Homo-oligomer: A and B are copies of this chain.
């Protein structure tokens, strides 16, 4: 098969026409004009000594992998990658992900050598220092030039890289036209042993193989050492065979410590592969040191004497520290110019593209700017279009997801194999698939498809979504979908999205115990607390279709924040008189006011019905007057003014507040004095019966609220201070018997 990706124009610099042709045609790198092995050795010596120096200054940091990966870095930054040091964010650049993020010094030093201006010598030396917001933090961070994604938690970067490669495929299939390729970059992903042991990495590898992402190259730094010693201590599988079975072209490099040419050869071949490529490169951790090949150099400095020995063995002056001779800078001096040429040729291609198809070009340019078409709001039903009959919120959400998915190319809608349950499949959807699979297994899809079957891989779904979102912020808004309980599988990836400010929308259906018969394994008691406490996450539990509309508006407006929209399986009473998207955007609002109230009831998501029914019963049976507050999102509420908060909660009125939610009360103490909540995992019972079993019914709630109201009337509100009342009992230890 012909390579999908080609260089647009011959780059400037020292790559001759023959080399460009070699890359274009996927031939070997023999034609590339490589510098001499001696020159490479010289650069690697200086590189390795510098790494040793940096870690030595504070006696810590990760020296081993950066030293081991020196030759790989030369192959990538000097010869193979397409990028522009003067504009690291140039749209059509190759993406590079360091999934073994602890090796970040390696990347930092190459960024310095190739001329990325923010990566000064001083910055390099600030690694592990007390410098605030160093561009050389302990793991790579997306905020800094030349870093595509924040990595560190292992396996995440690999999954991100799959997302980055998908992004290219999808944009290319959507916008490229014959003779006009405006997106055709490669994604290079460096991994260590850990990334291919971690489940999230394995899930992502399977998907990339399935999708035949031939623009992805996974580069395995196979140094055979992990923190615990030899990698064999926990892994003895035949990785090459496994990767071939997973759909990869596998290439071996046996001397990854110094054979730059062999690495270049393998990398260049990856550009013309018909499958994703896995390059298995044998390296020596801590190469050059007496501790080379041992776990002792993984996460530690070498020691003063050993640093000196390393330099001596390399023929360098042991008394020179942090020294990069001019000839090493010169070695990389052509890169900025080549990068500018890459960028210029892309800009030129864009101009021609605009002439060819101004409409498509305008849309493409909007996406390059990371902007959503303004008419996204047309996908949100107007208040008067909302249903009035009982409707599951997963269905109300489906209406919006489907409209967004169908109409706006920025939305990639995925599911972890729950299409029949999560209501995200839209009419005439096209699956994201390799067109080759159409013949191989009769699948109907291609790379322009924006409906993504992730399989039963929730963690990779969310981690890949991070890559999609990070391709160029705003170009894609990935949507994922699964049952809310399974967002626990994906928690580490959602956290990485929050940490990086990556916008995405997670459709989390089957929330609360109302999911019913599937039982406690599927009832997400306690999952909400994680996301409510997590910085920069919006966790929104709408109570009806109108609040669902508000949730989507909040999610789309939060351009630097992942949002989880938490939805019911079961039908929910609609409250067109009371519910409001504007209120939802404020996080909480007065649902039903009563100036002469005895108690405030907080209703949340699918438990709003119990609040409203309890209000009715309390008045009918006991003459107790309740006001009701809807509280779909704690985080949004916390952004409001103190005055607004007080107007909603009336904390000074001397009246109690009771929250009703089928999760543990943990965290609601800020707003309420008592709760009807869950103190255990659930049970396998139909929705109605399980709610009743756990005391979620007006008949069960009303008497408890009545007692509380009477107690407060008698003794004053102060009695509740320090005595939060879990009406259903608090969380315990041990199983209930």
List B contacts of A666 (CB < 8 A). 529, 532-533, 667, 670
Supposing A152-B522, A521-B101 touch, asked if A457 and B228 sit within 8 A by C-beta, the answer is: no
Q: Is A700 an interface residue (CB 8 A)?
A: no
Tell me the A132-158 residues at the B interface (CB within 8 Å): 132-134, 137-139, 141, 150-155
Q: Is A582 an interface residue (CB 8 A)?
A: no
As for how many copies of this chain the complex holds, the number is: 2
B418 x A671 contact (CB < 8 A) = no
List B contacts of A234 (CB < 8 A). 207, 210, 417, 453-457
Tell me the A240-275 residues at the B interface (CB within 8 Å): 240-242, 244-247
Q: Is A290 an interface residue (CB 8 A)?
A: no
List B contacts of A125 (CB < 8 A). none
A199 x B518 contact (CB < 8 A) = no
> Most B CB atoms within 10 A — which of A228, A230, A734?
A228
B501 x A228 contact (CB < 8 A) = no
Supposing A153-B485, A525-B535, A722-B651 touch, asked if A209 and B227 sit within 8 A by C-beta, the answer is: no
A137 x B560 contact (CB < 8 A) = no
What distance in Å separates the Cβ of A460 from its nearest Cβ neighbour in chain B? 7
A652 x B233 contact (CB < 8 A) = no
Supposing A227-B420, A732-B639, A733-B561 touch, asked if A519 and B246 sit within 8 A by C-beta, the answer is: no
Interface pairs (9), CB distance under 8 Å: A102-B518, A132-B685, A132-B693, A236-B247, A236-B440, A241-B241, A499-B520, A534-B664, A669-B669
Q: Is A498 an interface residue (CB 8 A)?
A: yes
B734 x A561 contact (CB < 8 A) = yes
CA distance A686 to B201 in the complex (A): 30
B522 x A533 contact (CB < 8 A) = no
Supposing A199-B199, A419-B228, A498-B681 touch, asked if A130 and B686 sit within 8 A by C-beta, the answer is: yes
Supposing A646-B722, A722-B649 touch, asked if A560 and B734 sit within 8 A by C-beta, the answer is: yes
Q: Is A504 an interface residue (CB 8 A)?
A: no
Q: Is A598 an interface residue (CB 8 A)?
A: no
A733 x B558 contact (CB < 8 A) = yes
List B contacts of A685 (CB < 8 A). 130, 132
Supposing A486-B153, A649-B722 touch, asked if A138 and B199 sit within 8 A by C-beta, the answer is: no
Interface of A is mostly: loop
* Stretch of A308-316, A345-353, A487-495, A601-609 that contacts chain B: A487-495
CA distance A138 to B516 in the complex (A): 9
Residues of A in contact, count (CB < 8 Å)? 150
B536 x A734 contact (CB < 8 A) = yes
Q: Is A616 an interface residue (CB 8 A)?
A: no
Q: Is A538 an interface residue (CB 8 A)?
A: yes
List B contacts of A132 (CB < 8 A). 683, 685, 689, 693
Q: Is A645 an interface residue (CB 8 A)?
A: yes
Given contacts A526-B530, A535-B679, 16 further A-B contacts (CB under 8 A): A128-B517, A129-B686, A132-B683, A138-B516, A138-B518, A199-B460, A210-B235, A230-B442, A232-B442, A530-B530, A532-B666, A533-B666, A636-B733, A645-B722, A666-B670, A717-B721
Tell me the A301-333 residues at the B interface (CB within 8 Å): none
B667 x A732 contact (CB < 8 A) = no
A203 touches which of B193, B199, B678 (Cβ 8 Å): B199
Chain A 658-685, CB within 8 Å of chain B: the 1/0 string?
Answer: 0000011011011100000011110111
* Stretch of A280-288, A389-397, A723-731 that contacts chain B: A723-731
B152 x A226 contact (CB < 8 A) = no
Q: Is A437 an interface residue (CB 8 A)?
A: yes
A731 x B457 contact (CB < 8 A) = no
Chain A 429-472, CB within 8 Å of chain B: the 1/0 string?
Answer: 00101000100111100000000011111111000000000000
B734 x A501 contact (CB < 8 A) = yes
A456 touches which of B198, B667, B722 (Cβ 8 Å): B198
Q: Is A202 an interface residue (CB 8 A)?
A: yes
> Most B CB atoms within 10 A — which of A237, A638, A671?
A237
Supposing A232-B443, A646-B722, A679-B535 touch, asked if A138 and B237 sit within 8 A by C-beta, the answer is: no
